[in-house]
Structure 1
Amino acid sequence: LHAIAAAFAELPQKVVWRFTGERPSSLGNNTLLVDWMPQNDLLGHPKTRAFVAHGGTNGMYEAIYHGVPVLGLPLLFDQFDNVERLKVRGAARMLEAGFLTKENFLEALKDVLSNPSYRRNIQLLSQLHRNRPMSPMDTAIFWIEYVIRNKGAAHLQSVGSTLPWYIYYSLDVALVLMTIIVAFMWTAVFTCRLICCRRFSRKMKEE
């Protein structure tokens, strides 16, 4: 955290950082610490130059929508894949949080800020993302009105909503499979015991 704060302090741009905890001693005057911020609104601001993020799905979609290049510091699960997908398209840089230093963070951040290819590529993705026949709001309005006009649109409802709970969770199928497995095991055990008993009987007769 101190390395990140020190790197931010060397930037000519202003930084808004969502941060909780003790204030880093290396924090510069250009950095504003906040407990919460309207992330989507800030990404949509025309003066936003870059987005430093851990690579969560929502944040990546918001960055793509608003055309803001990303410097990713993934930590868990799908975050690595999310940032990597932007990286291979030339819209992001990625650093490993475990090997983060002030120097490599500052170098990557300056690269994202100064290299126009990152913004150009993320804006191309933004155009592709926005290119749809209807806006999300118009789409939502259409389907709400569609359901109202068709009195609940029962023909679009999943059949699963009317199934008994034991069929919905496939318990009937599981019961049949378990019955088959138990019957097979019982038959195998019975057959083995029968063969062993016959061999034992023959041996006793021979003796």
Structure 2
Amino acid sequence: MFALWMFGSVLEQYLSPKKFLFFYLICGLGAAAFHLGVLTYEFNIAHSYLIDFKENPTFKQFSVYLSQNGYDGSTNLGTYLLDFKNKWAEDPMSDSYQREAASIMQEIYQLKISQVTVGASGAVFGILFAFGFLFPESVILLGFFIPLKAKYFVALYALFELYAGIQNSAGDNVAHFAHLGGMIFGWILLKWWGYKFTKNAL
């Protein structure tokens, strides 16, 4: 919430308290909608993959799934899955391993669809974007030591969120696409209100 105070207080004065509150709420709701849209897309893909795997549970498919979803030894679940994969590799045609793999895939799918996301970070990212859009030449100190213009800071942060969202590493419970959604809806609102990207600085 430090970012909300740091950037929000400036925007509240610039936009007006009423406009700022509207902006904050819309960015939060937009972030949630964007996040849910991405989740729905991912769930549909995961469900299709699960159905295909149950019809033809091969060792190769299981290995590809683990690789694409970032399951490695960095989490307890990843370690368990890799151990199972190594055991299955010794006997890839085993019926018992195929059945167990199908059961594991079902459990992974259930874990994915039961994830709960709580927070207002999407709205905060909308505010962060607005600050970089309205005051692009302002300087932000990274770690209180490294100076960086707001426009570059926001752009780099957005690229990181996009990369992290696409990477979709196992154990990463951060709603990266909600953050991007907050930025997108922040941009839409600012354009709707007629604000333009300038060379302003505080």
TM-score by length of 2: 0.20
More strand by share: 1
Structure with greater contact order relative to length (CA < 8 Å, sep ≥ 6): 2
Structure whose residues are more often helix by fraction: 2
